[in-house]
């Protein structure tokens, strides 16, 4: 028995039947989502970890493996592909920075400058999203043709002697980074636009009233207020860029010295059917991305976004 504020006995309030009923309804509505995640995320992830610990069955033929808890796969494959892993991180980081440098002015123009013109703002957003209506492969292959040695871009520069006659861009790290940045620009632009579109312009005007020049107002007011969009866009760009294997392929913008870890995984999976090695490299790439993201979020002090 509980006692009230003045010492008298009190009785516990009866549980609200309607609240209990709402709780059951909420759990019931969550079941499809939880089942979907368990079936298409948790199960494949567990299978990936299990496959990474397998070893070939003696005399079992190609593609025959058994679970032996071979944890040595991780250090062995990590050492063998360390250079490729570092290259993957550098390319993904460079492409993310390049996409940010291009996307922020674009998002600012659409979200702030065109705010008073809804039709033009909608047109700008449509142009940002429009590349999604074209295949990823076709877009990348189109850039390969445009950036070819005698293509529109390099051919024109060679014609005016701006570059040497033997200059080439395809097959270089710059071409791979450019291709990755281009293909993931919408992933960077849209989150930044969402933050800038909600920006209260009175804060910017207040910065001018306090005699701050436009540059100082941008770094003191606009950029901090749009930081959630920048962080979200950076993550949405860096994560798929780290696993990209199209742009770095020899068939597209890459060359013999631009192999990323995604290319290694694709080649081993399709040609040798070395599933334990493929699974191990996938886990290593996943861990690599998570570590870099954790460091990034820690340095930017954005734990509330996790």
Q: Which domains does the chain have, with CATH numbers?
A: 74-305 (1.10.3720.10)
**Could you tell me if 111 and 199 are in contact, meaning their C-beta atoms sit under 8 angstroms apart?**
yes
Averaging pLDDT over each range in 46-60, 105-119, 156-170, which range is the top one? 105-119
pLDDT of 266 over the 70 cut: yes
Binning the chain into helix, strand and coil, the percentages to the nearest 5 are 70, 5, 25
222/199 Cα distance (integer angstroms)? 8
| pTM value surpassing 0.85 | no
CA 254 to chain centre: 20
Calculated CA dihedral for residues 119, 125, 131, 136, nearest 10 degrees: -160
For 219-223, which contacts have Cβ atoms below 8 Å and span 24 or more sequence positions? 222/108, 222/196
Most confidently modeled range among 70-79, 123-132, 203-212, 264-273: 123-132
pLDDT, position 191 = 94
Give residue 187's pLDDT.
94
Give the SS3 label for residue 3.
Answer: strand
Whether 134 shows a pLDDT value over 60: the answer reads yes
- Compute CA distances 165 → 144, 158, 175, 256, whole Å: 18, 6, 18, 22
Res. 96 pLDDT band, cuts 50 70 90: very high
pLDDT at residue 271 in the model: 77
* Dist CA 17 CA 26 (whole Å): 14
Report the pLDDT value the prediction gives residue 306, as an integer from 0 to 100.
46
């Amino acid at each position: 028995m509980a006692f009230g504020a003045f010492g008298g006995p009190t009785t516990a309030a009866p549980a609200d039947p309607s609240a209990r009923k709402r709780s059951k309804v909420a759990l019931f509505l969550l079941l499809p989502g939880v089942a979907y995640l368990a079936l298409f995320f948790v199960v494949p992830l567990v299978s990936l970890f299990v496959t990474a610990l397998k070893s070939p069955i003696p005399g079992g033929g190609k593609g025959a493996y058994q679970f032996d808890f071979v944890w040595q796969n991780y250090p062995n494959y990590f050492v063998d592909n360390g250079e490729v892993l570092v290259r993957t991180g550098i390319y993904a980081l460079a492409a993310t920075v390049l996409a940010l440098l291009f996307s922020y002015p674009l998002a600012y123009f659409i979200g702030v400058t065109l705010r008073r013109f809804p039709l033009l703002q909608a047109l700008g957003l449509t142009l940002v999203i429009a590349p999604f209506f074209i295949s990823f492969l076709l877009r990348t292959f189109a850039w390969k043709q445009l950036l070819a040695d005698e293509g529109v871009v390099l051919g024109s520069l060679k014609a005016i002697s701006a570059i040497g006659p033997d200059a080439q861009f395809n097959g270089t790290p710059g071409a791979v980074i450019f291709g990755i940045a281009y293909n993931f620009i919408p992933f960077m632009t849209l989150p930044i636009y969402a933050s800038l579109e909600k920006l209260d312009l009175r804060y910017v005007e207040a910065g001018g009233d306090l005699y701050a020049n436009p540059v100082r107002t941008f770094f003191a007011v606009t950029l901090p207020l749009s930081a959630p969009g920048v962080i979200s866009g950076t993550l949405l760009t860096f994560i798929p860029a780290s696993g990209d294997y199209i742009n770095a392929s020899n068939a597209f913008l890459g060359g013999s010295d631009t192999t990323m870890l995604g290319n290694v995984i694709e080649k081993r999976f399709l040609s040798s059917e070395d599933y334990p090695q493929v699974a191990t490299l996938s886990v290593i790439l996943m861990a690599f991305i998570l570590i870099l993201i954790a460091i990034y979020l820690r340095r930017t002090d954005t734990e509330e976004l996790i």
